[in-house]
Structure 1
Amino acid sequence: MQRPLCCLLLCLLFYAVSVSAQKPELPYTTINFQNLNDFKPTGSNWKLAGDVFYDLNKSGGGSVKSGTGILVNDLSGKSKDHLFTKMEHGDIELELDFMMEKGSNSGIYLQGRYEIQLFDSWGVKVPTPADCGSIYERWDESRPEGRKGYEGHPPAQNVSKAPGLWQHYKIVFRAPRFNEKGEKIANARFVKVIQNGVTIHENIEVTGPTRSAAFQDEKPMGPLMLQGDHGPVAIRTIKYKAYAIEPVALTKLQLSAYDGKFKSVDELASLTPKREMPIDVLAHLAPGSKDNFAGKITGTIHIPRSGEYLLNLNLRWIPAEVNPNVRNGAGELKIAGKKLLTINTEDGGTASTKVNLEAGDYPLELSYYKNFGLWYARSNDILLSVEGPGFQYTTLNQIIRAEDPVSEISLLAKSEPVMQRGFVNHHGLKHTHTISVGEPGDANYTVDLAKGEFLQIWRGDFLETTPMWHGRGETQLSVPLGSVIELSGKPSLAWLADKNAAWPDSSATYTNLGYDIDKSGRPVFKYTLGTANVRESFASTDEGRKLSHSFTVTPGTTVTGQGIWCRIASGSDITELPNGMYAINDKQYFIELPGKEKPVIRTTAANTKELLMPINATNNTGTVTYSIVW
Structure 2
Amino acid sequence: MQRNVCCSIFYLLLCTLGVSAQPNVIPSVPINLQSLADFKPSGSNWKIVGDAFYDLNKDGKASTKSGTGVLVNDLSGKSKDHLFTKMEHGDLELDLDFMMERGSNSGIYLEGRYEVQLFDSWGVKVPKPSDCGAIYERWDDSRPEGRKGYEGHPPAQNVSRAPGLWQHLSIVFRAPRFNGTGEKTANARFLKVILNGVTVQENIEVTGPTRSAAFQDEKPTGPLMVQGDHGAVAIRNIRYKSYGIEPVTLTNMKLSSYEGKFASVNDFNTLKPNREMDIDVLAHLAPGSRDKFGGKITGTLHIPRTGEYYLSLTLPWIPAEVNKTVRNGAGELKIAGKKIVSIEPEDGGHASTKVTLEAGDHPVELAYFKNFGLWYARSNDITLAVEGPGVQYTTLNQVIRAEDPVGEISLLAKNEPVMQRGFMNHHGIKHTHTMSVGEPGQLNYTVDLRKGEFLQIWRGDFLETTPMWYGRGETQLSAPLGSVIELSGKPSLTYLADQNAAWPDSNATYNNMGYDVDTNGRPVFKYTLGSAQVRESFAGEGDGHKLIHSFTVTSTGNAQSTGEIWCRVAEGSEITQLPNGLYAINDKQYFIELPGKEKPVIRTTPQHTKEMLLPVKPANAVGTVTYSLIW
User: Structure 2 length as normaliser, TM-score?
Assistant: 0.97
1:605 is matched with which residue? 606
| 1:359 corresponds to 2:362 | no
Partners of 1:261 and 1:270 in 2: CA distance? 14
More displaced stretch, 576-585 vs 517-526? 517-526
State the SS of the aligned residue for 1:47: strand
Check 1:374–1:457 CA distance in 2 against 1; reply closer, same or farther (3 A cut): same
Give the secondary-structure state (helix, strand or coil) at the position aligned to 1:514.
strand
Separation of aligned partners in 1, 2:578 and 2:406: 47
2:15 corresponds to which residue? 14
Structure-2 residue corresponding to 1:336 = 336
Q: CA deviation at 1:230?
A: 0.3
The alignment partner of 1:559 has SS state of helix
Residue in structure 2 matched with residue 575 of structure 1 by the alignment: 576
The one-letter code matched in structure 2 to 1:562 is G
1-side partners of 2:484 and 2:320: how far apart?
Answer: 24
1:345 and 1:468, CA in 2 relative to 1: closer, same or farther beyond 3 A? farther
Residue 449 to residue 375, structure 1, CA distance change in 2 (3 Å):
same
When structure 1 is superposed on structure 2, of 388-397 and 313-322 the one drifting more is: 313-322
Q: Deviations over 1:349-381 (max 9, x none)?
A: 111111111112111010111122211112111
Do the aligned partners of 2:423 and 2:478 also contact (CA within 8 Å) in 1?
yes
Query: What residue identity is the alignment partner of 1:596?
Result: K
Q: Which residue number corresponds to residue 52 of structure 2?
A: 52
* Aligned-partner Cα distance in 2 for 1:523–1:484: 21
Q: 5 Å matches for 1:493-508?
A: 493-508=493-508
- Partners of 1:294 and 1:4 lie apart in 2 by 29
Provide closer, same or farther for how the CA distance between residues 590 and 306 of structure 1 changes in structure 2, counting only shifts above 3 A.
same
Taking only the aligned residue pairs, the percentage that are identical comes to 75
| Residue of structure 1 equivalent to 2:429 | 429
1:545, distance to aligned residue in structure 2 (A): 1.5
Q: What do you get for the CA RMSD once the two structures are aligned?
A: 1.4
Equivalent in the alignment of 2:621 = 620
CA distance in 2, matches of 1:602, 1:368: 54
Q: 1:87 matched to which residue of 2?
A: 87
Kept in 1, the 8 Å contact 2:413–2:439? The answer is: yes
Unaligned runs of 5+ in 2: none
Structure 2 matches for 1:133-148, cutoff 5 A?
Answer: 133-148=133-148
Q: For each residue in 1:94-126, what CA deviation from the matched residue of structure 2 results, as whole angstroms up to 9, or x when unmatched? A: 001000000000101000000000000000000
Q: How do 1:25-424 residues align onto structure 2 when only pairs under 5 Å count? A: 25-321=25-321, 323=323, 325-424=325-424
- Deviations for 1:15-63, whole angstroms, at most 9, x for unmatched residues? 246433x544210000000000000000000001111100010110110
The corresponding residue for 1:593 is: 594
Q: How big is the shift at 1:608?
A: 0.8
SS in 1 for 2:361: strand
Cα deviation, 1:497-541, whole Å, max 9, x if unaligned, reads 111111111111111111111111111111111111111111111
> 1:227 offset after TM fit, Å?
0.3
Q: Secondary structure at the match of 2:559?
A: coil
Q: Secondary structure at the match of 1:14?
A: coil
Q: Helix, strand or coil: the match of 1:266?
A: helix
For 2:364 and 2:88, locate their aligned partners in 1 and report how far apart those are by CA, in whole Å. 35
Please state whether the residue corresponding to 1:366 is helix, strand or coil.
strand
Alignment of 1:504-583 (within 5 A): 504-556=504-556, 557-560=558-561, 562-583=563-584
Structure 1 stretch displaced more, 221-230 or 372-381: 372-381
CA deviations 1:318-341 (Å, max 9, x no partner) are 243465544322211111111121
Quick one: distance in 2 between partners of 1:597 and 1:407? 48
Letter in 1 for 2:10: L
What is the alpha-carbon distance in structure 1 between the residues aligned to residue 510 and residue 488 of structure 2? Answer: 18
- Report the CA distance between 1:470 and its aligned residue: 1.6
CA distance in 2, matches of 1:61, 1:16: 54
Q: Is the 8 A contact 2:17 2:342 kept in 1?
A: no
Following TM superposition, by how much is the alpha carbon of 1:7 offset from its aligned partner in structure 2, in angstroms? 3.7
Compared with structure 1, are the counterparts of its residues 239 and 467 closer, same or farther at alpha carbon in structure 2 (3 Å cutoff)? same
Instruction: Give the distance between the partners of 1:567 and 1:57, measured in 2 at CA.
Output: 26
Letter aligned with residue 87 of structure 1:
M
Counterpart CA distance in 1 for 2:197 and 2:456 is 14
Q: CA deviation at 1:405?
A: 2.7
For the residue of structure 2 that corresponds to 1:75, the secondary structure is coil
SS in structure 1 of the partner of residue 467 of structure 2: helix
Query: What do the CA deviations read for 1:61-109 (whole angstroms, capped 9, x no partner)?
Result: 1100111100000000000000000000000000010000000001010
**Comparing 165-174 and 352-361, the one that deviates more:** 352-361
Q: Does the CA-based 8 Å contact 2:446-2:456 persist in structure 1?
A: yes
Q: CA deviation at 1:264?
A: 1.6
Q: Give the SS at the match of 2:10.
A: helix
Residues in 2 aligned to 1:341 and 1:612: alpha-carbon distance in whole angstroms: 50
Distance 1:28 1:100 in 2: 24
Match of 1:601, as an amino acid? I
- The answer as to whether partners of 2:411 and 2:462 remain within 8 angstroms in 1 is yes
> Secondary structure of 1:567's partner?
strand
CA distance in 1, matches of 2:17, 2:507: 40
Could you give the per-residue CA deviations for residues 296-352 of structure 1, whole angstroms, max 9, x where no partner exists? 001111111111100011112224346554432221111111112111232221111
Question: Which ranges of structure 1 fall in alignment gaps of 5 or more residues?
Answer: none
